[in-house]
Structure 1
Amino acid sequence: MSTTRELSYPHLGCEEHVIYAGARRLEYRILISHPSGEAPPEGYPVIYALDGHAVFHTLAESARLQTRKPHGYDPVVVVGIGYPSGEPFDMKRRCYDFTMPAEEEQLPKRPDGSQWPESGGADSFLDTLQKEIMPLVSGLFPVDTRRQALFGHSLGGLFVLHALFNRPELVTHYAAGSPSVWWNDYALYSELEQFAAAYPAMNLQRKLMITIGAEELEHMVEDAAKLPGLLAPLAEHGLQTSLNEFAGESHVSVLPAALSRLLRFALEKE
């Protein structure tokens, strides 16, 4: 069940859907920006963005500007997935939704010394995204299933990589911003190895974009830079991987630059 209300940006044609989803029937706030023109014959491309209350309005406004005719990209549906707190980064909810199971001793100490919130719900959230949120959107708009993108930042970037490695059929474009590859002592590398072994037989054309700020923590920059090399052998099997490093940007300031590059990544045609 969901309820709908208009957001306070009517010129963007935005609306919010409140849904209760997943096995735990957790509450989500689904922020949707209507496309600015008629759908192409194949339907609208869609961008799904995690941490919706942190990135939605910036992304929706950027899309409104960059899809203006006659020279803009095709109109796009922008979907922000947020939480009832309305916080830009709801640590309790995102830590559960975006991470794989981990033991506390496998995680770094938090800056304030507190314990990590409950983690390990990534697969459950993948189900929610695939079976409840995406059908909600396709019920509202004609969707081009060949141009759907998923963006996440930090732990959200970790989730995007987890989604690619485990459900490469979910979307066509995966955008991992400042991914927390370090989670659970780099257990993601095991997922990458299994994915690399299986992908050549899948006959899929997929794109992965990794973004990072050059002034982020050294290990974060190094981890991001390492991924394209690990995935390079899959290029001949249909996986295009790119890395965008933004000079002078830190872990949070990099977001606007990453979102601008996301639009080109998701909407630019071959």
Structure 2
Amino acid sequence: MNLSDFPNSQVMLSGTRQYEIVSHGNRHYRLLVSVPQTEPPPDGYPVIYALDGNAVFGTFFEAVTMQSKREEKTGVSPAVIVGIGYQTDHLFSSERFFDYTTGCPVMSKPDGEKWPPHGGAEQFLSFIDTELKPLIEGNYSINKKKQTLFGHSLGGLFVLYALLSSPYSFHYYVAGSPSIHWYPDKMIRLAHDFPNRLVNQHISAHVVIGLGEQERYHKSNIGDCAVNMYGILKPYERLGLTSEYVEFAGEGHGSVMLPLINRTIRYSYDPYKTSMSDAKNLSS
């Protein structure tokens, strides 16, 4: 007996849609969108914008769908998930190097080859702010006070860039294993300059820097860079930015995405009620 003898079809995620779009800057993206099947609350759904959407959208969708069924137990409410991906069947596209970075890295590529085109973070952030968010808000009921940006690795680097460059774009910023070591001095300068960008205005934002325990002392210096960035951002609580550093026990660079995604969906509901009991938290 062979499985091909039975009726079969591709596995589909019910309640999701995929869109192929082109930005005003002629960049091609794949949007993966999940909308709750329940009526939106009076102030609209929370929304999570997830970078590397090809790789993480399905995990976000299943985690939100499962946990929001028992909101009173899990603290997770139904949310709109927007995966920002690329028009490829691969989990990751080399185009992310352009979108998630602002310049050339300080280190050489391990295989000696040239890095893919990079340096387009400002353009990508503009696309999110001026094209993507209005598109989503124009088609779905969105709570504009509960908007989350999630990214991992180079995506985590972009999340920090977005926070430091445009602190009013989102309310919750989740930077997983951020590749600050790509150009650490530039990110440190941007972080120190953050108060000047506020022009004496108070903000309401929350940032989480998440790291796998196994990454803490990696030769790339990703761990020290993350802890150092947290140390710079923590005093900005007086300006309305609350910060957390979370280290997930036993996790590495790839595996940390799963607990980090789970933590992110709780933040879409209320970050201040999120329990940190299952992670090493340096926020106090």
Alignment TM-score > 0.5, same fold = yes
* Cross-structure match for 1:266: 268
* Cross-structure match for 1:191: 190
What amino acid does structure 1 have at the position aligned with 2:69?
R
Partners of 1:22 and 1:154 in 2: CA distance:
26
What amino acid does structure 2 have at the position aligned with 1:34?
V
Q: Check if 1:45 corresponds to 2:46.
A: yes
Aligned with 1:145: secondary structure? strand
Deviation at 1:87, TM superposition (A): 1.7
Partners of 1:113 and 1:56 in 2: CA distance:
32
What amino acid does structure 2 have at the position aligned with 1:94?
R
1:90 to 88, 93, 104: 93
Q: CA RMSD in A?
A: 1.7
Identity of aligned residues (%): 36
In structure 2, relative to structure 1, the CA distance for the partners of 1:262 and 1:29 (3 Å cut) is same
Partners of 2:159 and 2:39 in 1: CA distance:
29
What amino acid does structure 2 have at the position aligned with 1:247?
A
Taking structure 1 as the reference length, the TM-score comes to: 0.90
Report runs of 4+ in structure 1 exceeding 6 Å deviation.
none
Gapped runs of 5+ residues in structure 1? Answer: 1-6
Q: Check if 1:29 corresponds to 2:33.
A: no
* Cross-structure match for 2:277: none
Instruction: Decide whether the 8 Å contact of 2:33 with 2:81 is kept in 1.
Output: yes
Aligned with 1:208: secondary structure? strand
* Cross-structure match for 1:129: 128
Listed one character per residue, the Cα deviations across residues 159-195 of structure 1 (whole Å, up to 9, x for unaligned) are 0011001111111111101001112343111111111
Aligned with 2:232: secondary structure? helix
Deviation at 1:36, TM superposition (A): 3.6
Higher deviation after alignment, 33-42 or 170-179: 33-42
* Cross-structure match for 2:18: 16
What amino acid does structure 1 have at the position aligned with 2:233?
L
Taking structure 2 as the reference length, the TM-score comes to: 0.86
* Cross-structure match for 2:212: 213
1:227 to 226, 229, 235: 229
Higher deviation after alignment, 201-210 or 185-194: 185-194
Listed one character per residue, the Cα deviations across residues 78-117 of structure 1 (whole Å, up to 9, x for unaligned) are 01011011321212x0000000022xxx531222221101
Partners of 1:18 and 1:46 in 2: CA distance:
20
Partners of 1:157 and 1:167 in 2: CA distance:
15
* Cross-structure match for 1:239: 241
Aligned with 1:55: secondary structure? helix
Aligned with 1:241: secondary structure? strand
* Cross-structure match for 1:3: none
Aligned with 1:240: secondary structure? strand
The count of corresponding residues between Structure 1 and Structure 2 is 258
Listed one character per residue, the Cα deviations across residues 104-142 of structure 1 (whole Å, up to 9, x for unaligned) are xx5312222211011110000011111111122112211
Listed one character per residue, the Cα deviations across residues 24-65 of structure 1 (whole Å, up to 9, x for unaligned) are x12100000111421111011100000001100001100001
What amino acid does structure 1 have at the position aligned with 2:187?
L
What amino acid does structure 2 have at the position aligned with 1:263?
I
Partners of 1:65 and 1:125 in 2: CA distance:
31
Partners of 1:54 and 1:10 in 2: CA distance:
14
Partners of 2:149 and 2:271 in 1: CA distance:
17
